[in-house]
Structure 1
Amino acid sequence: MPESNDMTRLRRALAVEARPSSDFDLNTGVAQPETRKLRPAGVLVPLIEVECGWRLVLTKRSSALKHHPGQIAFPGGKVDPEDSGPQAAALREAHEEIGLEPSSVEILGELPPHETVTGFVMSPFVGRIVTPFDPRAEPGEVAEILTVPLDHITDPARYSVQARRWRGQRRHYYTVPFGPYYIWGATARILRGLAERMAP
């Protein structure tokens, strides 16, 4: 079966070199501590093909979590000592958080790293789910598993910049809402970078 146009465009986009991104891209006036130490993390950008086309699998994080509670996010997390690196961490966390077996994922490529305001440097890995997938949310971390059409998050026109007060300062960030889901912050910034490279 020939590869879909969306997948061909995605592969081309992943081959394009791009600069790292940051939660500070839109907030250049925010002072960052010179002594800050960034912790490595890996996230999976999992794509699944359904009858209506390709969709991105995301999670709604538990409101009880310390970092980014209640936000829409990629499955993933910090690199643990037993992980061989960020990709291994992304696959391990995806298995723990949404029940996705690492053997069910074909890694297509890596997106540029992203620095978060919470002190992580995230390495995002785009992966295609190649076997039947029965999502299972990990109760302590994931409140909900959702999917978003690939053509929604790869359309630059869907993105906007909004702002709110954070730690006494006005912070700007990207958003790409979908239905009742408010996708923003690091997740939206990473996806916007992909959308820019996939744009015709």
Structure 2
Amino acid sequence: MGKKKKGIAVLSGGLDSTVAVSVFKEDYDIHAVTFNYGQRAANEEINSARAICDKLDFKHTVINLKWLKDLGSSALTTDKDLPILKENQLDDTKLTNESALNVWVPGRNVVFTSIALSFAESEGAEIIIVGWDKEEAATFPDNSKEFLKSFNELINIGSIEDIEIKAPAIDLTKKEIVELGEKINAPMELSYSCYSGEKSHCGICESCLRRKRAFKQADILDKTKYLE
């Protein structure tokens, strides 16, 4: 058996990135990077990412970007109240756009992906794996197919190496991500999606609601522990 190709993964510890990186777990030697940018859920996200990497035998690095916390006024990095929706409001464009604005962290995916590129160049990796998906792209432009295409074009122009960003969930809803995760035996039970940073998922923030709905719609057992 030949030596595996190398990949860098941006792994938040969340559902989307956990499934995305699991798509490549057999064919690539993966180094996952997780970012601590002063978010409420930093500790739980890091613990989750570490557990996933231990399970899948990936190298794991935590990168501190505390300066990002001081930019903007995201509810993820300040004491602002987290936006709360009901499950039947998750497809209300007006409400979800307002919610997204409240949790937006300036330039986050641009920064994360650029740093991942630095790792990829230095380690001879051929791909960068991200968890961007169709459902998130509805309110977060840095999850969109257009963003993926543009960033790959940027790399093609600005990098001396042949590196491509891979986003296997780019055309998938959360339900479809859960279905894919089940099919490929991704360790979804180890992932952490909550905005609040509590040890157990709060069950009421938008991220928790989307996670709960996805498992329910997919009719797949949700092993997540929710406070509510």
Which TM-score applies when normalising by structure 2? 0.27
Which TM-score applies when normalising by structure 1? 0.29
Higher strand share: 1
Higher helix share: 2
